[in-house]
Amino acid sequence: MSDQKIIGILGGLGPAAGADLFHKIIEETVATCDQDHPAVALLSYADRIPDRATYIRDSSKPNPVLPMWDVLMHLQRVGASVASVPCITAHVSVIFGVLRDRLAAEGHGLRLLSMIEETVKYIQKQYPEIKKVGAISTWATKRNRLFEQALVGAGFEFLPPDDNVQDGVEAAIYDPQFGIKAISNPVHPQARENLLRSLRHLRKKGAEAVILGCTELPIGIPESDIEGVKTIDPTRALARALIHAVAPEKLR
Q: Enumerate the active-site residues.
A: 87, 214
CA angle 53, 159, 224 (to 5 degrees): 85
DSSP string, 19-48: HHHHHHHHHTB--SSGGGSPEEEEEE-GGG
Phi-psi label, residue 166: left if phi above 0, alpha if psi -120 to 50, beta otherwise: alpha
CA distance 166 to 136: 7
Burial label, 9 (beta-carbon count in 10 A; 0-12, 13-18, 19+): buried
CB 9 within 8 A of CB 26: no
Q: Tell me 158's DSSP state.
A: E
Q: Tell me 95's DSSP state.
A: I
